[in-house]
């Protein structure tokens, strides 16, 4: 299966600042990547679908202007949390579809803490 | 709307004590049911994909089964290293490649 690298694994930022999270597909050209958010004891919630070379598709209730997604190449998608607030503190995870489209590989996740 | 419900929320087992985790689902045309293992502070690790009722897959001490309404993850003679949260997810035919996840079952295996 695909190998997905997510960076950073954890980050602490001040309220009002922006944070960028990177998701790289190391051995597979990923035309589609997914960004999830997971709160403690909750399931993974899909935030957006990132398509290479086009605008991301956001799920209902996810602010496009707050969570900026850029998928500029087949191996890299970035999620930028703009003007972060404490309520944005969460575990963010990216995923790629590998192979036939039925396999999904996840990154190791990024723990964001906004203080 | 796809729905996935996992039970129990948490399960404590003695080492060697076999048990099963349940995943009930409602989807409009199942295109795959996925089981993942998630360790604290890590992303989900793929275990199995099941596509049709009656299908079974095994990996070491784990066996996944599927019916038209639910899936079971059977754990035989678990070891402490099997302790983790087990996630179930479905992909339906109604959407794209999106997965809908359950909240997971946190398994603790006591030596």
Taking only the tens place, the pLDDT of each residue in B42-77 is 999 999 999 999 999 999 999 999 999 999 999 999
- Average pLDDT of chain B is 94
Cα–Cα distances in angstroms (integers) from residue B76 to residues A97, B19, B28, B62, B64, in the given order: 30, 7, 32, 7, 11
Contacts of B34 in chain A (CB under 8 A): 104
Neighbours of B64 (CB within 10 A): 23
Higher pLDDT, B31 or B58: B58
Q: What are phi and psi of A88, to 5 degrees?
A: -85, -5
Query: What is the pLDDT, as a whole number, of residue A101?
Result: 46
A3 contacts on B by Cβ (under 8 Å): none
Tell me the backbone φ, ψ of residue B80, rounded to 5 degrees.
-55, -30
B30 in reach of chain A (CB within 8 A): no
- Please give the residue of chain A at the shortest CA–CA distance from B96: A49
CB contact under 8 A, A111 and B41: yes
Nearest 10 degrees: Cα torsion A9, A101, A32, B44: -20
pLDDT exceeds cutoff 90 at A12 = yes
**pLDDT value of residue B75:** 98
Range with lowest mean pLDDT among A1-15, A28-42, A95-109, B42-56: A95-109
Kind of pairing between the strands at A110-114 and A10-13 = parallel
What are the tokens at A106?
Answer: 């996840």
Phi, psi of B81 (to 5 degrees): -70, -5
Q: Is the dihedral of CA A60, A65, A71, A72 positive or negative?
A: positive
> Which DSSP helix (H) or strand (E) runs through B6?
strand B3-7
Specify the length of chain A in residues. Answer: 115
pLDDT at A19 over 80: yes
In chain A, the residue whose alpha carbon lies closest to the alpha carbon of B33 is A102
Chain A residues in contact with B37 (beta carbon < 8 A): none
At A108 the pLDDT is: 95
* Mean pLDDT, residues B84-91 taken together: 96
Report whether pLDDT(B95) > 70: no
Query: Taking the CB of residue A63, how many other CB atoms lie within 10 A of it?
Result: 10
**DSSP H or E stretch at residue A97:** strand A90-98
Confirm or reject contact between B44 and chain A (CB < 8 A).
yes
């Amino acid at each position: 299966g695909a190998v997905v690298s997510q960076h950073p694994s954890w980050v602490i930022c001040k309220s009002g600042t922006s944070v960028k999270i990177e998701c790289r597909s190391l051995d597979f050209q990923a035309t589609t990547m997914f960004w999830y958010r997971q709160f403690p004891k909750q399931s993974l919630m899909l935030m957006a679908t990132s398509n290479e070379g086009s605008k991301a598709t956001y799920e209902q209730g996810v602010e496009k202007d707050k969570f900026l997604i850029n998928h500029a190449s087949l191996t890299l998608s970035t999620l930028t949390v703009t003007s972060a607030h404490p309520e944005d503190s969460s575990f963010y995870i990216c995923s790629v579809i590998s192979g036939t489209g039925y396999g999904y590989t996840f990154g190791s996740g990024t723990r964001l803490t906004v203080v | 709307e796809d729905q996935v419900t996992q039970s129990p929320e948490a399960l404590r087992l003695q080492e060697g004590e076999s048990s099963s985790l349940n995943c009930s689902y409602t989807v409009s045309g199942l295109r795959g049911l996925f089981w993942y293992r998630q360790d604290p502070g890590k992303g989900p690790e793929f275990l199995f994909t099941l596509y049709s009722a009656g299908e079974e897959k095994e990996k070491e001490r784990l066996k996944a089964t599927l019916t038209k309404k639910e899936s079971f993850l059977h754990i035989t003679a678990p070891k402490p290293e099997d302790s983790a949260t087990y996630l179930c997810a479905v992909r339906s035919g109604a959407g794209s490649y999106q997965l809908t996840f359950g909240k997971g079952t946190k398994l603790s295996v006591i030596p």
